[in-house]
Amino acid sequence: MLFPVIMAGGSGSRLWPLSRQLNPKQFLALADAQLSMLQATLQRLQGLQVALPCLICNEQHRFLVAEQLRQLGLEQATILLEPVGRNTAPAIALAALQALSQADDPILLVLAADHLIQDVEAFHASIRTALPLAEAGRLVTFGIVPTHPETGYGYIERGAALAPGGFAVGRFVEKPDLSTARDYLACGDYFWNSGMFLFRASRYLEELERFQPAILDACRAALAGGAQDLCFTRIDRKAFSACPEDSIDYAVMEKTGAAAMVPLDAGWSDIGSWSALWEVSAKDAEGNVFKGDVLAQDSCNTYVHADSRLVATVGVEDLVIVETKDAVLVAHRDRVQDVKKIVERIKEAGRPEHLNHREVYRPWGVYDAIDNGHRYQVKRITVRPGAKLSVQMHHHRAEHWIVVSGTAKVTNGENTYLVTENQSTYIPVGQVHALENPGVIPLELIEVQSGAYLGEDDIVRFEDVYGRA
C-alpha cells in the first residue's frame, strides 16, 4: 500500500490576481470547475491502493486544507504544519519520519498539490511501473515526456534501461535556453523534471543522512518537539527554523547512485502561468478560453476569467484578462511570467492585494468586505452550520449585525439570544461577544463596523474552538 505525501505549500504568484498568498493556486478550482487542484490531486489517487494521505502545508493555510479534505471525506488525513518554508528536502523528510511512525516502512508517493494530470490511467500505469524499482531500493522520479521545447522546467537525462520500464538517471539539468531545449526535444533522451517521486521512507532518509545529515537531524528534532493541535500536527518552530533549506533534487537526487526515472506521458502541467492554463483548457473556435460572464467581439487566442462582473473584449488577441472583486490583470500571453513582478511591486508598496482576496476564508466560513470608507466597513458574513466564531472583543470598533438568512446565536456581554432573518443586534465597543450558527443551513448576515480603527488585528480572543491565539 502506498503512502501518499502531498506537498501543498507555495504561493502561486504567477497566477495573481486569482492566486493570493493566503489562498494560493493549489486551493483554487482552475482546471476543474468543481474541484480545487489539491482536491483533484487527491481524487486522482482513486484506483490505487493507498493509505490516508499526509499533507504538508503552511500554517496560514491549515483551515483551507482541513476544509477541502472534509469536503472529500478525508478528515482523518495527516496534516503537517510547516512553521517556515524550508523547501522540499526537509518537507519530505518530515513526511517520511511521520510515515515510519504510522506504518512499517511504507513506500511514499510524493506529489505536488498544484499539478494537472489529464490522463489518470496513464498516471497510474507509470506508478505501477515504478513500484518494483522503489521496492528494490531505488529513488524513483517521474520524467514528463516533453511536448515542446520548454525553458521553464528542469530536465532529466535518461540513462541505462532498468527493468521493468524505468531508467537510471543520467543527470539532472537546470532550466535550459531555447536552443538547448530544442536540442533536448530532438534528442529524445531528455524529460521534464516533474518533482514527483516514489521511494521507501527509510531509503530516502538513508540517502538524506548520507548527503545532508543536518537536514535529517533538524527534521527529527522538529517532529519530536511538535504538538497535536486539533487535526493538525504542528512542527516545532525553533528546531525547524534551524534546518538547512534545500530541494530534494539538490540534497539527494543529484548525488545518490540510486536515482531512477520512469517516463510519464499523461497530459501533465504544473499550471505555472496563465498561458499554461490557457494551453490546457478547452477553447472555442477562435482559440479563446472564457470563464464567467464574458462577451467577446472579434477576439481570438485570449484567456478571460470574469469573477464578479461582465468582462467584454473587442478586437483583441493573445491576451490574458483576469477580473476579481478587487483587481484586474491585463497581460499579453507571451509576458505572463512577469506577473510575479507586479506582485513584487504590490508588496513593496505595502498594498494588500497580494495577500488575500476581498473574500477571506476562515475556519467557520467566509466573509466578503463589500464596502469601506472613513470610520466604517461593511462585510457579508457566512457561517457554516454548527460553526462558531471566537469569543472576542474589540478596542476600537462597534458592530451592527443584520441577519439575512438562517439563525444566529449571539453572545453579547452577559446575554445570549437568537437573532433570526430580518432582525439585527448591536455590539458596543469593548463588549465581549460571540456569534454561532446553531442551525442546519448557512447563516448569512451583514456586519457594519464603525470606529476609529477597523483592522483585523483589533481582535482580543478569549476562547476559540479552532485553537487560534
Q: Above 80 in pLDDT, residue 91? A: yes
Q: What percent of the chain has pLDDT over 70?
A: 100
pLDDT of 99? 96
Q: Above 90 in pLDDT, residue 103? A: no
Residue 150 in grid coordinates = 520548454
Amino acid symbol at 228: Q
Q: Above 80 in pLDDT, residue 196? A: yes
CB of 214 within 8 A of CB of 99?
Answer: no
Q: 73 — alpha (psi -120 to 50), left (phi > 0) or beta?
A: left
Domains 2-269 and 359-463 share a fold: no
Nearest alpha-carbon partner for 89 in 258, 246, 255: 246
Summarised one tens digit per residue, pLDDT across range 113-136 is: 999 999 999 999 999 999 999 999
Summarised one tens digit per residue, pLDDT across range 26-53 is: 999 998 888 999 999 999 999 999 999 9
| pTM (predicted TM-score) | 0.91
Q: Above 80 in pLDDT, residue 341? A: yes
Q: Above 80 in pLDDT, residue 469? A: no
Give the span between the Cα atoms of 445 and 418, in whole angstroms: 13
Q: Above 90 in pLDDT, residue 163? A: no
The predicted model gives 159-182 an average pLDDT of 93
CB of 464 within 8 A of CB of 391?
Answer: yes
Residues 6+ positions from 387 with CB-CB distance below 8 Å: 363, 364, 365, 436, 437
Summarised one tens digit per residue, pLDDT across range 8-25 is: 988 789 999 999 999 999
The predicted model gives 435-455 an average pLDDT of 97
Summarised one tens digit per residue, pLDDT across range 346-393 is: 999 999 999 988 888 889 999 999 999 999 999 999 999 999 999 999
CATH domain 359-463 topology: Jelly Rolls (2.60.120)
pLDDT of 152? 87
Give the span between the Cα atoms of 382 and 399, in whole angstroms: 16
pLDDT of 419? 98
Write down the domain spans for the chain: 2-269, 279-346, 359-463
CATH numeric code, 2-269: 3.90.550.10
pLDDT of 230? 81
pLDDT of 375? 96
Summarised one tens digit per residue, pLDDT across range 173-187 is: 999 999 999 999 999
Return mean pLDDT, the chain.
95
Please state which of the ranges 101-110, 139-148, 236-245, 351-360 shows the lowest mean pLDDT: 351-360
pLDDT of 468? 79
Give residue for cell 521553464. Answer: 152
Distances in whole angstroms, Cα of residue 23 to Cα of each of 52, 176, 211, 321, 328: 24, 31, 35, 20, 17
